[in-house]
Chains A and B, each alone.
Chain A
Amino acid sequence: MRRMIEASTKEILKIFRDTVLCERYTNIEGLFQRLDPRVKFLATIALIITAVASGKIIIQLAILVLTFLLALISRISFKFFIVRTFLFIPLFAVVIALPLPFIISGEIVASFKINGMLIMVSREGLWEMLIFVLRVWACVSLSILLILTTKWNSLLHGLSKLHAPRLLIVILNMTYRYIYFFTDMLYKMLIARESRLTGPVGTLEAIKGGASALGSLFIRAYEKGEKIYLAMKSRGYNGEMKTMDDLKIHKLDIIFSVLVGAIIVMMLVMQMFHEFPFPVF
């Protein structure tokens, strides 16, 4: 288990470093890459709001399918995208949603006894759990699609054109820079630790080592963070992120916005008027 966690941590960091931080997919000629960052951002937010507001599985599934289609048209490998997006689901959503079938009352579909205590699983609870996981998956996929296909600087430039508060942009910018170093530093620390291991390490020892490494990482990240900010300031950064992109709304942006808008309206109409066979569904 410990080995698996260590290997996964290293792998996640490597993937994050080599794909997201490298902005590998931003230079590929795909649909999402060609869109104006403002359009992409607003469309993503609109779809996320729709997913969050809807309690129907079909809507969540529709948004998921749409996101995967957009990823495909944006020339992101299907395998890559599904693995990256699903990675967070078992980690967070499933764990959080796991108690739902046991605590939501409704039609009992299964029951069992643990130490004399009767545990019941309800159908409504299972549906709620499924909706929650799909909702998180849809929102995470949309966010990952936006991040994978947009240069961070362009996104911030777009946000500033949308009159997002300057403080928010500064915070987002600094967070991104720090995540970069945080990830890189943690990855290097794990590699350095591995290179000095000459035998198996006990779980307790590994936990102690991990805690100490984490402490050291925070101190180093803090110091580095300060230096990054000073380095940016010394080269003229004043809180406003400038890029080479001249933001212009093209025909493609208008068509995309209209299409997304129409899809969202369609979903809302379906949600309001369509009678689904199952009350939750």
Chain B
Amino acid sequence: MRHTVFELENITHIYPDGTLALQDVSLKVYEKEKVAVLGPNGAGKSTLLMIMDGLIKPTKGTVRFLGEEVKFNDDKFLYEMRKKVGLVFQDSDAALFSSTIWEDVIFGPLHMGLPKEEVIRRGEAALQLLGIEHLKDKPPFQLSEGEKRKAVIASVLSINPEILLLDEPLINLDAATQTMIVNLLESMHKEGKTIVTATHDINVVPLIADRIIVLNKTVIGEGSIEEVFSNVDLMKKANLHPPVITELFVKLKEYGISEPSTKIPLTVNEAINYILKLLNGTSKNVKNGKKEQT
């Protein structure tokens, strides 16, 4: 049985200016899963992640972390929780608040009270993992957007959290940086980390998640990627369009061109396999753009 990492019950949050961010949100995040919180702009995704990190106390509702109710007024509880949960903020400029990248990367381990040697080891390992050792002594404002994002991720990974919360981690990044971060998240997941990614970019969801929670102020649907993407009404309700590939194959299915029982392709590689299977009944696996006979 999978353990629940986060359990949110009837979470409502209204900002002091009266903006309703979340309404009656109830959801569960299980250990070692890759889940995407998908929703349009202003759906409350960032607020949700900040509530999960104990940074914002919801107006109503309860949050359970590893079975224990989150005590938003208990700093000791929150500090202990944040040793296990790392939040990658969308706004890199706000997340990089130190004068150099190195100071930002070691900020977390240092404030966890780790010994100096361990702080240095973690900081260096995080920089190396993201391939940004050369940026160590640079001030954040001298970095490109992609470099800043890598630095923000490094500054969270140095805490070595079991659960990673990522707010639009791939937004405004070039393809190479996107691929690098996707691969990194995949390897983190393989190491056993739980990964929750909030995004409005539907095309990246199949790359970073196995399950989707569709959010638009409240949870309007959830399920596997295929279930969610092929649910046209749900996608419309969330002001989202399924990825072009998925949309194409859903239409083909409607026209009876594909086998109804076959899984709808979600990525280019899956689509190639699907087409090859349709055309000549042979099965070839396509991985990372390279084909391999099976």
Given A234-B55, A234-B82, A236-B82, A228:B97 Cβ within 8 A: yes
How far, in whole Å, are A28 and B110 apart by their CA atoms in the complex?
24
Are A236 and B112 interface neighbours, CB within 8 A? yes
Are B155 and A235 interface neighbours, CB within 8 A? yes
Minimum CB–CB distance from B262 to chain A (whole Å) comes to 43
Residue with the greatest number of chain A CB neighbours at <10 A, chosen from B108, B119, B155: B108
Minimum CB–CB distance from A117 to chain B (whole Å) comes to 52
State which residues 208-264 of A face B: CB under 8 Å.
224, 227-228, 230-238, 242-244, 246
CB of A271 within 8 Å of the partner chain: no
Q: Determine, out of A17-25, A66-74, A83-91, A124-132, the stretch whose residues face the partner at the interface.
A: A17-25
Given A230-B50, A235-B107, A235-B111, A23:B82 Cβ within 8 A: no
Contacts of B113 in A (CB 8 A): 242
Q: Determine, out of A53-61, A177-185, A198-206, the stretch whose residues face the partner at the interface.
A: A177-185
Contacts of B106 in A (CB 8 A): 244
Are A238 and B79 interface neighbours, CB within 8 A? yes
CB of B116 within 8 Å of the partner chain: yes
Contacts of A238 in B (CB 8 A): 75, 79, 111
- Chain B count of residues within 8 A CB distance of the other chain: 36
Among the listed B103, B139, B156, which residue makes an inter-chain contact with A21, where contact means beta carbons less than 8 Å apart?
Answer: B139
Specify the chain B residue showing the minimal Cβ separation from A20: B99
Are B107 and A233 interface neighbours, CB within 8 A? no
Interface size class, chain A: 20 to 34
Residue with the greatest number of chain B CB neighbours at <10 A, chosen from A227, A234, A242, A244: A234
Contacts of B99 in A (CB 8 A): 21-23, 151-152, 180
Minimum CB–CB distance from B212 to chain A (whole Å) comes to 24
Specify the chain B residue showing the minimal Cβ separation from A185: B93
Residue with the greatest number of chain A CB neighbours at <10 A, chosen from B93, B97, B119, B156: B97
Are B93 and A181 interface neighbours, CB within 8 A? yes
State which residues 111-128 of B face A: CB under 8 Å.
111-113, 116, 119-120
CB of A143 within 8 Å of the partner chain: no
Among the listed B83, B86, B103, B141, which residue makes an inter-chain contact with A153, where contact means beta carbons less than 8 Å apart?
Answer: B103
- The 8 A-B pairs with the shortest beta carbon distances in the complex, nearest first, are A236-B111, A227-B94, A235-B108, A231-B95, A23-B99, A234-B87, A242-B110, A230-B55
Q: Beyond the given A22-B139, A235-B86, could you list 20 further A-B residue pairs with CB under 8 A, ordered by the A residue number? A: A22-B99, A27-B137, A177-B97, A181-B93, A181-B94, A224-B91, A227-B91, A230-B50, A231-B94, A231-B97, A232-B97, A234-B53, A234-B86, A235-B107, A235-B155, A236-B83, A237-B111, A243-B110, A244-B116, A246-B116
10 A-B pairs within 8 Å (CB atoms) are namely A17-B141, A21-B99, A23-B100, A224-B91, A232-B107, A234-B53, A234-B89, A235-B111, A238-B75, A242-B113
